[in-house]
Structure 1
Amino acid sequence: MNATVVKRVAVVATGVIGASWAALFLARGLDVEATDPSPGAEQRLRDAVQAHWPALVRQGLAPGASTGRLRFHAQMEAAVEAADFVQESGPERREFKAELFARMDAAAPAHAILASSTSGLAVTDIQADCRHPGRVVLGHPFNPPHLIPLVEVGGGQHTAPQAVADAMAFYASLGKRPIHVRREIKGHIANRLQAALWREAFHLVNEGVATVADVDAAIAHGPGLRWALMGPFMNLHLSGGEGGIAHLLAHLGGPIEDWWHDLGSPGMDAALQQRVVEGVAQAAADLSTAALAQARDAVLIELLRAKRSAPGLQ
């Protein structure tokens, strides 16, 4: 498979992630064959695509992009039988995905790459029952996929290196920012980084150091602003002044390590969950999740536009 010849993408499972993928593929001028066994799935998908479309228009559509290029199939095999690339976003259950990928492998053309949006499962497990496991790859996006550029790409024990390279090239052709997960690990890369932050965030709330709102403010109005522009290592590099990261680590390496030893290990018990749920409800006030997402996405589009025009921040 070559990224330049992908014209038809199959989207298998069209929940929140799958629908967002479908909207992105359509906006990039591709034909999309979608499938999902849930009752009412087709209408929910079409509604979601229409909801996402204005944001995609603001970002710029590819020639020929149209929501009219979306077709829905009741049977998965019909959706993948002519696909050049398959993006699966089904439930996070190992046995389910292994069976689903075996079926997709049997029905999809020989040249098609089979990618999973799994947020934490191993590709080796997902490809276990496939006759052609070499074409099964990780293609893990970040929500919402039609806006967030990052996609984590990797393989399992039986994945062909060329399949990973082709998947990365295809995602890059869509305007995504693919990174290569070079070794299978639970949660991949970005989710592990998020989990480390979540762990301490829950700990600080659990210990009464900060409220939910304070923790969110500490990130959203502090380091989160820098992290939206540069990653942790480059930010440390800038924090070192003219001496860069070498200077910073020479002076703060010890204290940073000391902080590591003092980080918490909270348990996700019912009391902590309830405290966080109540804290989020209080912080959100009367804003619905839809309103919050709309506000987030509006600013995100402008941020992405600014990053694209700034040297070194692409």
Structure 2
Amino acid sequence: MTSPEKTPAATALSPAPGFVPPESVRRVACVGAGVIGGGWVAHFLARGYDVTAWDPAPDAERRLRRLVDAAWPTLASLGLAEGASRDRLTVAETLEQAVSDAEFVQESAPENLGLKRDLLARLDAATPPGVVIASSTSGYPMTEMQTTAADPSRLVVGHPFNPPYLIPLVEVAGGERTDAGAVAQAARFYEAAGKSVITMDNEIPGFIANRLQEALWREALHMVANGEATVRDIDLSITEGPGLRWAVMGPMLTFALAGGEGGMAHMLDHFGPSLKSPWTRLEAPELDKELYDAVVAGCDEAADGRSIADLVAERDWGVVEVLRATGRLAGGEGTR
């Protein structure tokens, strides 16, 4: 998959001495093997890495291998890296075993700040020196998570999007006590692993893409709560509307085109006054039982008898076709 043009901040950074060079990483440890962690496992295996995984759940290995098996046909259609194999997955019995010989660590534990702090501190204590530890957190700034680690300088955020084996984007950010070289090492490693990377200069709550997703999500909940639109209406409005344009270019350039030859300047002049119109309600609605039930029932109706596994397969193949149609596949060759 191709990467977006690098920002000056991203290209100016270089890994600090002492960190494992990104291009030499061969073994990745994935700590936490749920939907996100398991997705990371599938991605790294498809890119030809050796992967050691650990999760405290008693049935974690069975669920993880089932997830990888389900994702593998999609990954094969994208093009596996040389040597890529599901046989290169090892499931460790302890966290310490999982990271003992790791050259990069991806943490994907549940979104609980206390849990993240304790786990990152344990990972820091058990992981060899010079190895970057990245968190898949979807909202916590690293500054808030690195408070109890003995060496917070190597802790970074590596925020993926579900499913990590298919959606290219990773947002990378450090905390106040993170070494800039660790941020750069993580960014370069993800790029070597076939990801598109945004290296953030500043920590912001929810990062970039989740902030935008959250605004859309809140509006959707308000419309359901007020009986203004159904779940099916909302999804159709995106898949058959602006989502088609967003698959090619983002909302900013999309809006710039609405200004015709005058571009964004004309668009702002023409549509700027509508910003004061009461179109949006960005404060989150109260998630009471009525709204909760309406959203769940609406999704069941929209699924129309399809299981979660059916929907995952439909989503994955759909994304593959969009990536193929927009020229964002790397021709089936690995990046390593």
TM category (shorter chain) comes to over 0.9
**Aligned-CA RMSD value:** 1.6
Q: Residues 215 and 261 from structure 1, CA distance in 2 versus in 1: closer, same or farther, beyond 3 angstroms?
A: closer
Q: Residues 115 and 229 from structure 1, CA distance in 2 versus in 1: closer, same or farther, beyond 3 angstroms?
A: same
Structure 1 counterpart of 2:295: 276
Structure 2 counterpart of 1:41: 60
1:126 and 2:142 are equivalent in the alignment: no
Which of the two has greater helix per residue? 1
- Give the secondary structure class of the aligned counterpart of 1:52: helix
Q: Residues 265 and 30 from structure 1, CA distance in 2 versus in 1: closer, same or farther, beyond 3 angstroms?
A: closer
Shift in Å, 1:70? 0.8
Structure 2 counterpart of 1:238: 257
Instruction: Work out which of the residue numbers 234, 239, 249 in structure 1 matches 2:268.
Output: 249
What amino acid is the match of 2:150?
A: R
What amino acid is the match of 2:263?
A: G
What amino acid is the match of 2:78?
A: Q
Q: Deviations over 1:187-232 (max 9, x none)?
A: 2211111110111111112222212211111111101111122111
Instruction: Work out which of the residue numbers 62, 82, 85 in structure 2 matches 1:63.
Output: 82
Q: Is the 8 A contact 1:203 1:264 kept in 2?
A: no
Report 1:191-206 matches (<5 A).
191-206=210-225
What amino acid is the match of 1:90?
A: A
What TM-score results when the alignment is normalised by the length of structure 1?
0.94
Mean CA deviation greater in 61-70 or 260-269 = 260-269
Find the aligned partners of 1:261 and 1:4 in 2 and give their Cα distance.
46
Identity of aligned residues (%): 52
Shift in Å, 1:183? 2.1
Find the aligned partners of 1:296 and 1:270 in 2 and give their Cα distance.
29
Find the aligned partners of 2:253 and 2:322 in 1 and give their Cα distance.
19
Instruction: Work out which of the residue numbers 154, 167, 183 in structure 2 matches 1:135.
Output: 154
Find the aligned partners of 2:299 and 2:66 in 1 and give their Cα distance.
28
Q: Is the 8 A contact 1:139 1:153 kept in 2?
A: yes
Q: Deviations over 1:66-88 (max 9, x none)?
A: 11111111110111011110000
Find the aligned partners of 1:234 and 1:161 in 2 and give their Cα distance.
31
Structure 1 counterpart of 2:49: 30
Report 1:1-314 matches (<5 A).
1-259=20-278, 265-308=284-327
Find the aligned partners of 1:281 and 1:27 in 2 and give their Cα distance.
32
Shift in Å, 1:259? 4.3
Q: Which has the higher contact order (CA 8 A, sep 6+)?
A: 2
What TM-score results when the alignment is normalised by the length of structure 2?
0.88
Q: Residues 309 and 106 from structure 1, CA distance in 2 versus in 1: closer, same or farther, beyond 3 angstroms?
A: closer
Q: Residues 127 and 309 from structure 1, CA distance in 2 versus in 1: closer, same or farther, beyond 3 angstroms?
A: closer
